[in-house]
Amino acid sequence: MKGWQAIAAAGLLSVGLVLVSGVLAQQQQTSIPNAPTPQAPAPLPDVNGGITPGIGSAEAPTNPNSSSTTGQPQAEPAQPPTPSSEPAAPPQDVQAVPPEEGNGALARYVVQVNFVQVPVTVKGAKGNLVAGLTWRDFTVYENNTRVHLNLFSVDPEPLSIAFVIDQTLPSNVMDEVNRSMGSIQGALAPYDEAAVFTYTNGAKEWTGFTGAQGSRLPAVLALAQATGSDPMVPINSGPLAGCSIYQNGNCVDPNLQPGRSTGNSSFITIPKEIHTLNDAILQAAKELSTRPKERRRMIFVISDGKEYGSRATWKEVVRYLQTNKIAVYATLVGDSARWGEEWIDRFHLPFTMYDNILYKYTVNTGGDYYAEGGVNGIERSYAKIAEEARDQYTLGYLSHESIYDGKYRKITVLVDRPNLTVIAKPGYYPSAQDYK
């Protein structure tokens, strides 16, 4: 029994020690004093008013009825408001208040204007660019009404160029174009950008707009090279015109099948050539229309100018170019670049292929073209066109026509100098992008 009593006494002793230690710990926690509350700083001696930076203290005005003395403590300054956890409401748009009599409120007026920008190239008698002209040398008419020039600049603008390369050229001409592509990048500046398109039976975009001096452009131009076409002498009559190899009663080559869609039993219709130049220019123009308005938009076509088989008509494409301020420049190669034939190919017979339609694009968009043959001549045309597009006079004026009128507007630019050739767009269609 004594053993059990000893064990019980030891247990009670341990429980008592635990209780005593808990009470002491609670007393230690409650005995810790709170942090002192912040007190207002004591006022400076001999200062009755507030302190202004740069001026100092100002004496408070004395009030004879006031019973306050300098010995009394001053009231504590107001505490700053407690920051709220809710976010501040966004500022609302301030509505313009029309000025009234005796009220100094300001009113904001939004005026819709139609600012027209006209790039102009001036050449001398030998085809060289003419520099040094001033705004006094130019006269601009819109719809036969003279307009006042609000902008005159000779500063070069960055170029956005879409190259359109004809891959239906004869193989010998295509080889010259392929060898000249290496010099395209040398005619561009670091702040220019370029895209590459080709066409045969339909247009193809090889790359969107990329830096003119980057490594992507020459790589894409190398991939865009083609072998061209090999024209053969068509035979649609005589003993060689028929098909000598038949299979199941039909000719093996459907292009030479007498009758049906290609002709009749005695005459074979030769398949027509396909040159979708209109579709290629339209696709390049759609890509160019997304470029900033501050850049000079231009399409550079390398082709013989033949057009047949496009879904888009020439009038539709030209209107799109004139609406989006895009100029077409071209290097004419192949048969159309020969002396004399360049002018003969401009005549077009109805329901036949256009032998040269590029000159119509350049004239109606304010661009220019060069007829060149050989690799050196094609390379020189790249440098000439890039220089011509960069060294232009930029004229600007406010149109007197209604901003809601979508009709065509004719532009005439004259220079008060003899024996000069002025190249500018003959007109334009207004666009909603001009009023942004």
pLDDT digits (tens, 9 = 90+) for 71-104: 444 445 445 445 444 444 444 444 444 444 444 4
Calpha distance 19→31 (Å, rounded) = 18
Give the contacts of 295 (CB within 8 A, at least 6 positions apart). 157, 158, 159, 160, 193
Q: Write down the pLDDT at residue 73.
A: 46
Cα separation, 200 vs 244, whole angstroms: 31
Residues 118 and 173 in one domain: no
pLDDT of residue 71: 44
Phi then psi for residue 254, to 5 deg, are -65, -20
Q: What is the pLDDT of residue 333?
A: 93
Query: What is the per-residue pLDDT for 164?
Result: 97
CATH code of the domain covering residue 406:
2.60.40
In terms of domains, do 143 and 176 share one? no
DSSP 348-413: --TTS-BS--HHHHHHHHT--EEE--HHHHHHHHHHHHHHHHHS-EEEEEE--S-TT--S-EEEEE
Asked whether 141 and 412 are in contact (CB, 8 A), the reply is yes
Encoding tokens for residue 156? Answer: 């070069």
* Structural domain contains residue 362: yes
What backbone phi and psi angles, to 5 degrees, belong to 19? -65, -40
Q: How sure is the predictor about 334, in pLDDT bands with cuts at 50, 70 and 90?
A: confident
Sequence-ordered list of residues with C-beta below 8 angstroms from that of 360, at least 6 positions apart, any chain = 314, 318
Which span out of 9-13, 36-40, 403-407 was modeled with the highest average pLDDT?
A: 403-407
Of 131-140, 362-371, 387-396, 402-411, the range with the lowest mean pLDDT is 402-411
What's the pLDDT score for residue 280? 96
pLDDT level of residue 434 (50, 70, 90 thresholds): low
Residues 164 and 147 in one domain: no
pLDDT at 363: 93
Each residue's pLDDT tens digit, 341-364: 767 777 777 767 788 899 999 999
pLDDT of amino acid 355: 83
Q: Could you give the CA distance from residue 436 to residue 19 in angstroms, rounded to a whole number?
A: 83
Does residue 423 fall inside a structural domain? Answer: yes
User: Is 415 within a domain?
Assistant: yes
Query: For the chain, what is the mean pLDDT?
Result: 78
Identify whether residues 350 and 318 lie together within a single domain. Answer: yes
What is the average pLDDT across 402-414? 89
User: Cβ of 258: how many Cβ atoms within 10 Å?
Assistant: 16
Do 356 and 433 reside in the same domain of the chain?
no
**CA-closest candidate to residue 323, choices 425, 193, 208, 423:** 425
Cα–Cα distance for residue pair 390/121, rounded to 1 Å: 10
d(C-alpha 98, C-alpha 305), whole Å: 60
pTM: 0.68
Whether residue 377 lies inside any domain: the answer is yes
Which pLDDT value is given to residue 152?
Answer: 94
Higher pLDDT, 13 or 117: 117
Residue-wise pLDDT tens digits, 240-280: 555 655 566 566 565 555 544 455 555 555 667 789 999 99
Q: State mean pLDDT over 119-148.
A: 94
Which one is predicted more confidently, 159 or 236? 159
Q: Are 122 and 138 in contact (CB under 8 A)?
A: no
Question: Are 166 and 257 within one domain?
Answer: yes
Q: Are residues 264 and 315 in the same domain?
A: yes
pLDDT band at 51 (very low <50, low <70, confident <90, very high): low
Bigger pLDDT: 191 or 339?
Answer: 191
Q: What is the pLDDT of residue 118?
A: 95
- 429 and 348 assigned to the same domain: no
Whether residues 397 and 434 share a domain: the answer is: yes
Instruction: Tell me the per-residue pLDDT of 103-116, one tens digit each, with 9 for 90 and over.
Output: 444 555 454 568 89
* More confident site: 211 or 261: 211
Distance, in Å, from the CA atom of 47 to the CA atom of 59, rounded to the nearest integer, reads: 7
**What is the domain extent for residue 170?**
158-226+252-385
End residue of a domain, out of 369, 385, 401: 385
Query: Has residue 55 been placed in a domain?
Result: no
266, 397: one domain: no
Which CATH number characterizes residue 267's domain? 3.40.50.410
Task: Find out whether 397 and 149 touch, Cβ atoms under 8 Å.
Answer: yes
- Position 145 in a domain: yes
pLDDT at 148 over 70: yes
- Could you give the 3-state DSSP secondary structure of residue 281? helix
Neighbours of 31 (CB within 10 A): 7
Is 301 among the domain residues? yes
Percent of the chain with pLDDT over 70: 64
Q: Is residue 214 part of a domain?
A: yes
What's the confidence (pLDDT) of residue 143?
Answer: 94
> According to the model, what pLDDT value does residue 89 have?
47
Q: Are 407 and 427 in contact (CB under 8 A)?
A: no
Is 348 found in the same domain as 294? Answer: yes
Strands 427-428, 409-415: pairing kind:
antiparallel
Looking at residue 59, its pLDDT comes to: 53
Summarize pLDDT for 273-327 with one digit per residue, the tens.
789 999 999 999 999 999 998 899 999 999 999 998 899 999 999 999 999 999 9
Distance CA 425, CA 419 (A): 20
Query: Per-residue pLDDT tens for 359-400?
Result: 999 999 999 999 998 899 999 999 999 999 888 999 999 998
Say if residue 130 is in the same domain as residue 266: no
Domain total of the chain: 2
- Domain final residue pick, 370, 385, 400: 385
Angstrom distance (rounded) from CA 277 to CA 312: 9
**Cα–Cα dist 177/375, whole Å:** 7
Q: For position 49, what pLDDT does the model report? A: 58
